[in-house]
Amino acid sequence: MTSFPDAFLWGAATSAYQIEGSPDADGRGRSVWDSFVERPGAVEGGGDARIACDSYRRWQDDIDILSELGIKAYRFSLAWSRIMPDGRGRANPHGLDHYDRMIDELRRRGIEPIVTLNHWDMPEALLADGGWIGRGSVDAFVEYAVAASDRLGDRVDWWITQNEPWIIQLLGYQLGLHAPGIRDLRGAVTAGHHVLLAHGKAVDAMRSSTSGRIGAALNLLPCVPATASAEDAAAAWGSDGYVNRWFLDPLLRDGYPDDMRAHWERATGAPLDDVIRPGDEAAIAGRSDFLGINFYTHRVMAAAEPGPDRPFPWQVVGSTGEVERTDEGTEIVPDALRDLLIRVHRDYPGVPLMITENGAISGDSPTHDGQVHDVRRTRYLRAHVAAMAEALEAGVPLVGYTHWSLLDNFEWALGYRPRFGLVYVDFRTGERIIKDSARDYARIVRDGGLAAPERARGPQVDSLGAFG
């Protein structure tokens, strides 16, 4: 029997834009994603999130499912544009009322709310100042965070300020593949810095209205060399700086790593002194009560010459040989999760860790019996739970796991094709069907771990790997 602490938070996760729908309800303002999905070709299949899982109206159904499965925690996000429709100045009481009711019901059912403030749905009005490129975004986020914590902070013990700053920076502002669809290398590093600065300043501002623990969630990708060559080892270390250390070091140490700063300054052709201003790093550091880790896969790296479409001297090449993969081609590497947790604990000791996302795309649909027999997701989940158990045995202070995702949902630019959910959603009718993987996960939650140890399965590249 694998052993997890009695207080371990076994949960599931969603985000507001991906499940809520109802974009015009109760005074919600437009978000950057509302405009982005209207661009021809921006979303696979041309879909949008006007309905999604209809969870703004059916949130009680979703909590019923959590309760039926015995899940102990629910990580969800507040829709920023529901609470600050104009980006600044006026908090919308109807949006706050909605989340107030949700949190009260979760508490009534004994389910711990884990609240994310920014899961990528910045109010569109803030694009007038450049979105996250504009420094005014920091103050706007602080206003929003204070409005949320003033209203909800007495009942929320876990807050996540920012979800995946690297993805905001990379896909939103460097490659333009996510909202707001900007392609600007220097703008991207500026946006990423402002996301972190907003975290630090929001934490300070929230302290007076909540005693909850506050952190950020980073999507961490272990970077491994493709060969034993010194060149590929340097590429892997550089990629680690780009994806991981550029965010870990300022949050959990005292500033950005020098080697990656040099890479950014060479790639953008100018120093970053006007971006990272005096006092900024001190305002970010030391403001994380815990670290959320979103883990899906690793990056296999090789040295490469920089060029017009490659700002840094490395490239993702993927594993060679036969490798287990998700339906999206993502390499499945649960051993890498164990090693990542041990590495983060070693390099940044004393910081509690929470797996805030982990999951797989598997397109299983209902069969003749009306059920979804998603054997591969069950195997994936069990292998990653086993990896977490091994990390705990190695002394890692792991406090929780929220599987991505509770529901099949709107998967951003990939539309509705990829299915991550423990629960199948028929997007025509809104019907929810609890998958076999969810039933198995419920047993893991009930038992506090796996009934029998399972070895993590070896070599799974994230579809994002090609963009790095």
pLDDT digits (tens, 9 = 90+) for 109-128: 999 999 999 999 999 999 99
Q: What are residue 354's DSSP bridge partners?
A: 292, 400
Q: Is 105 a catalytic residue?
A: no
CA atoms within 13 A on the CB side of 85: 15
Q: Give a yes or no: residue 377 inside a domain.
A: no
Question: Residue for token digits 């140890």?
Answer: 453
Nearest partner of 431 among 447, 407, 412, 403, judged by Cα: 407
3-state SS of 83-134? HCCCCCCCCCHHHHHHHHHHHHHHHHCCCEEEEEEECCCCEHHHHHHCHHHC
Dist. CA 136–CA 151, nearest whole Å: 23
What three-state secondary structure class fits 386? helix
pLDDT at 99 over 70: yes
Considering the candidates 164, 281, 331, 411, report the single residue annotated as catalytic.
164
Query: In Å, what is the CA distance from 9 to each residue of 88, 110, 346, 393, 402?
Result: 34, 12, 22, 17, 8
Q: Give a yes or no: residue 314 inside a domain.
A: yes
**Taking a C-beta distance cutoff of 8 angstroms, is the pair 378, 437 a contact?**
yes
Percentage of residues of the chain with pLDDT beyond 70: 96
The pLDDT of 368-379, averaged and rounded, is 98
The full DSSP string for 150-164 is HHHTTS-SEEEEEE-
Residue 459: what pLDDT? 37
Question: Residue for token digits 């965070």?
Answer: 145
pLDDT at 456 over 70: no
The pLDDT of 207-214, averaged and rounded, is 98
Count CB neighbours of 413 within 10 A.
17
pLDDT at 41 over 70: yes
Q: What are residue 302's DSSP bridge partners?
A: 315
Counted domains in the chain: 1
The pLDDT of 297-303, averaged and rounded, is 98
**Taking a C-beta distance cutoff of 8 angstroms, is the pair 239, 468 a contact?**
yes
* Assigned token pair, 183: 């392609």
Q: Give a yes or no: residue 86 inside a domain.
A: yes
pLDDT at 60 over 70: yes
Q: Give a yes or no: residue 220 inside a domain.
A: yes
DSSP letter assigned to residue 174: I
Nearest partner of 76 among 50, 48, 104, 112, judged by Cα: 112
Q: Is 265 a catalytic residue?
A: no
Q: What is the CATH number for 58?
A: 3.20.20.80
**Taking a C-beta distance cutoff of 8 angstroms, is the pair 250, 199 a contact?**
no
pLDDT (tens digit per residue) in 401-430: 999 999 999 999 999 999 999 999 999 999
| Whole-prediction pTM | 0.96
Nearest partner of 160 among 435, 371, 352, judged by Cα: 352
**Residue 316 is inside which H or E element, if any?**
strand 314-316
Torsion of Cα atoms, 165 then 239 then 184 then 309, to 10°: -150
Residue 454: what pLDDT? 54
What three-state secondary structure class fits 390? helix
Label residue 231 exposed, middle or buried (CB < 10 Å: 0-12, 13-18, 19+). middle
**Taking a C-beta distance cutoff of 8 angstroms, is the pair 301, 232 a contact?**
yes
What three-state secondary structure class fits 356? strand
Cis bond before residue 405 (omega within 30° of 0): yes
pLDDT at 457 over 70: no
Q: Give a yes or no: residue 286 inside a domain.
A: yes
What three-state secondary structure class fits 291? strand
Sheet holding 299-303, edge to edge: 223-225, 299-303, 314-316
Q: Give a yes or no: residue 434 inside a domain.
A: no
Q: Give a yes or no: residue 430 inside a domain.
A: no
Q: Supply the Cα-derived Rg of the chain in whole angstroms.
A: 21
Q: Give the confidence band of 452 by pLDDT, cuts at 50, 70, 90.
A: low
What three-state secondary structure class fits 14? coil
pLDDT at 460 over 90: no
Dist. CA 270–CA 249, nearest whole Å: 22
* Assigned token pair, 423: 């629960």
What three-state secondary structure class fits 11? strand
Nearest partner of 405 among 416, 387, 388, 419, judged by Cα: 419
Dist. CA 360–CA 441, nearest whole Å: 14
Question: Residue for token digits 């047993």?
Answer: 443
Q: Give the confidence band of 219 by pLDDT, cuts at 50, 70, 90.
A: very high
CA atoms within 13 A on the CB side of 98: 22
**Taking a C-beta distance cutoff of 8 angstroms, is the pair 425, 436 a contact?**
no
Q: Give a yes or no: residue 3 inside a domain.
A: no
Domain assignment of residue 395, given as a range: 9-358+384-420+440-467
Cis bond before residue 180 (omega within 30° of 0): yes
* Assigned token pair, 438: 């969810």
